[in-house]
Amino acid sequence: MRARLLEATVELLVERGFAGTSTTLVSERAGVSRGAQLHHFPTKNDLVVAAVEHLTERRGAELAAAVAELPAGGRRTRAVVEMLGDHFSSPVFAAALELWVAARTDAELLAAVGPLEQRVGREAHRMTVAALGADESRPGVRELVQATLDLVRGLGLASTITDDSARRRRILREWADVLDKELAPCRSPR
Amino acid sequence: MRARLLEATVELLVERGFAGTSTTLVSERAGVSRGAQLHHFPTKNDLVVAAVEHLTERRGAELAAAVAELPAGGRRTRAVVEMLGDHFSSPVFAAALELWVAARTDAELLAAVGPLEQRVGREAHRMTVAALGADESRPGVRELVQATLDLVRGLGLASTITDDSARRRRILREWADVLDKELAPCRSPR
DNA sequence: GAACAAAAAGTCAGGCTTGACTGTTTGTTT
DNA sequence: AAACAAACAGTCAAGCCTGACTTTTTGTTC
């Protein structure tokens, strides 16, 4: 029942945004009575904060699953960045974005979302480093991985109102080529 | 008077977000009566759409001013990307972000914000190409400039809830070095 | 089997926001 | 100078959202 409420909350975040996600709508969508909802989550903030955590777990699981299915061979870097690009253009990202923006002007929400997102960010970083087989001990490598994640975040933001996947693919392909050159373990390119 | 209303709208977008920007607050902040406001902007959407246009002009002007003040010499690429990074971490970006996210789930708003943001994006692209002195006829260069803009957008998004400017600088510095290598006109690095 | 606690269901009032309506001032034209 | 139009000012009712309160059902323990 908790799960149903959280799922409904995430759905409504994607469809109607944070402001459009009223607690009444959530209880209706989840098929849960208003009283039951208020029993589990006394206030809207409680509900949404719990939804953040739920969402975080889903994001982590989806990322891990996507990494596991990566092809081993040749164009691995391209596959990794395309996977990241897809992930950060998914509805899951849209829901997270709603929370992110809402938290910017809501101190209570920020206190809950901030640390969580930081944790997810670190995990995504670890995963990406592992997936790319990058050597973080080399100077600059860590920054380029971070840049990759910030890039897909920016692309994801753009995709929420203009979904130009062809443009995204071209950019990520070029980025992957740059990464391949910069991350190559031998023959320092500098 | 229109200008005061629009300024107040932008301020409130930054401070309280889209949902927190009520028309009543705007009229109070602008020192304009409710009736006067409704005379100029019959609905909230009218007001906010006009604010988008106003904001767009300000963004354009700020970008142009920043470009004009760039040092000519040595580390020009670094200066350009740092300038972009600063710009996309400013309150102006926060206001635009609010509108962006609100437009995602509001068709009427999307119709107004979409084309506008596209125009601004193109202009930013042209400016960046000019500032970097990039040769867009070479394959991949265009994509790398786009990637740079999407990267700063992603960094700006991150900065709205966690303003880690040191991290941003490190990342942009590294990226600037990569850009210098990739955009160098002679000796194709591929 | 009865009693008690916890979960779920329904109702409702208070507060806020929006936009419509009516009155007042200012400026321009004849 | 008068009349008319446009901008401006204030008020208000309808609608929605939130969260508190009351009642009913379910499950567990004695």
| Domains identified in chain B, total number | 1
Residue A38 included in any domain: no
- Across A32-89, the runs of DSSP E, i.e. the strands, are none
pLDDT tens sequence across B36-70: 898 899 999 889 988 888 888 888 888 888 888 88
Q: Do B105 and A167 touch (CB under 8 A)?
A: no
Residue B32 forms part of a structural domain: no
Residue A104 backbone zone (phi > 0: left; psi -120 to 50: alpha; other: beta): alpha
In-domain check, residue B152: yes
Give the closest-approach CA distance of B177 to chain A in angstroms: 9
Within 10 angstroms of residue B119's Cβ, the number of other Cβ atoms is 12
Strand D: list protein residues with Cβ under 7 Å.
A 21-25, 34-35, 38, 42-45; B 1, 32-36, 38-40
CB within 8 Å: B161 and A94? no
**Percentage of chain B modeled with pLDDT above 90:** 56
Instruction: Fill in the amino acid letter for B58.
Output: R
Q: Is B164 on the interface with A (CB under 8 A)?
A: no
Higher model confidence: residue B91 or residue A151?
Answer: A151
B183 vs B177, more confident = B177
| A81 has a pLDDT exceeding 60 | yes
Question: From CA B23, how far away is CA B37, in angstroms rounded?
Answer: 8
Structural domain boundaries enclosing B127? 56-183
Residue-wise pLDDT tens digits, A98-113: 999 999 999 888 988 8
The verdict on a CB contact (< 8 Å) between A20 and B182 is no
Confirm whether A49 is domain-assigned. no
Best CA proximity match to A146, nearest among A136, A133, A158: A136
Residue B91 lies in a domain: yes
Q: State the virtual CA torsion across B153, B155, B160, B162 in degrees, nearest 10.
A: 170
Dihedral of alpha carbons A40, A46, A48, A50, sign = negative
User: Domain for residue B10, yes or no?
Assistant: no
The predicted model gives B167-186 an average pLDDT of 89
Q: What is the ipTM of this complex?
A: 0.88
For a pLDDT cut of 70, what percent of chain B falls above it? Answer: 96
- For residue B189, pLDDT beyond 60: no
- Does residue B33 fall inside a structural domain? no
Query: Per-residue pLDDT tens for B66-120?
Result: 888 887 776 889 999 999 999 999 998 999 999 999 999 998 889 888 888 888 8
B188 phi and psi angles, rounded to 5 deg: -50, 125
Q: Who's near B92: CB < 8 A, 6+ residues apart?
A: B10, B55, B58, B59, B62
Region B161-190: mean pLDDT is 84
Predicted pLDDT of residue B75: 83
What pLDDT does A190 receive?
43
In a domain, B102, yes or no: yes
Residue pair A139/A160 in contact by the 8 Å Cβ criterion: no
At A74, the pLDDT band (50, 70, 90 cuts) reads low
